Amino acid sequence: MTERNDSRTDQGDRTATPGRVVVEMSMSLDGFVAREDHGTDEVHAWYDGGDVAVPMPNSDLTFHVDEASAPVARAAFDLGANVTGRVTFDDAEAWGGDDPMGIPSFVVTHDAPTEWRGENGPFRFVTDGVESAIRQARAVAGDKPVGVAGGDIAMQCLRLGLLDELWIHLTPVLLGSGTRLFDELDGAPVRLEQQRVVVGHGVTHLFYRVLDQLPRPARSPSSG
pLDDT at 115 over 60: yes
The residues pairing with 34 across neighbouring beta strands, listed in sequence order, are 179
Distance separating alpha carbons of residues 40 and 209, to the nearest angstrom? 25
Please tell me the predicted confidence (pLDDT) of residue 30: 95
**Amino acid making up residue 48:** D
pLDDT at 49 over 80: yes
Please check whether residue 222 lies inside any domain of the structure. no
Mean pLDDT value of segment 121-133: 88
**CATH of residue 82:** 3.40.430.10
Please check whether residue 217 lies inside any domain of the structure. no
pLDDT at 11 over 50: no
Please check whether residue 80 lies inside any domain of the structure. yes
Spatial contact of 45 and 34, defined as CB atoms under 8 Å apart: no
Please tell me the predicted confidence (pLDDT) of residue 93: 73
> Which has the minimum average pLDDT: 118-122, 159-163, 182-186?
118-122
pLDDT at 8 over 80: no
Within 10 angstroms of residue 10's Cβ, the number of other Cβ atoms is: 10
Alpha helices in the chain (DSSP H): 11-15, 70-77, 86-91, 130-141, 151-159
Looking at per-residue confidence, does 85 or 224 come out higher?
Answer: 85
Total number of domains in the chain: 1
Query: Per mean pLDDT, which of 2-6, 10-14, 32-36, 150-154 is the most reliable?
Result: 32-36
Please tell me the predicted confidence (pLDDT) of residue 87: 82
**Amino acid making up residue 196:** R
Please check whether residue 216 lies inside any domain of the structure. no
Please check whether residue 218 lies inside any domain of the structure. no
- Give residues with Cβ within 8 angstroms of 25, minimum separation 6: 33, 149, 151, 154, 167, 168, 169, 181
pLDDT at 15 over 60: no
Please tell me the predicted confidence (pLDDT) of residue 14: 38
Give the range of the structural domain holding residue 33, as residue numbers without chain letter: 3-210
Mean pLDDT value of segment 11-26: 67
What's the mean per-residue pLDDT of the chain? Answer: 83
Q: Render pLDDT for 66-113 as a digit per residue (tens, 0 to 9).
A: 999 999 999 998 899 999 888 888 777 777 777 778 888 999 998 877
Q: Which of 2, 6, 25 is nearest to 192 (CA)?
A: 6
Within 10 angstroms of residue 212's Cβ, the number of other Cβ atoms is: 14
Please tell me the predicted confidence (pLDDT) of residue 74: 93
Q: Which of 167, 182, 82 is nearest to 133 (CA)?
A: 82
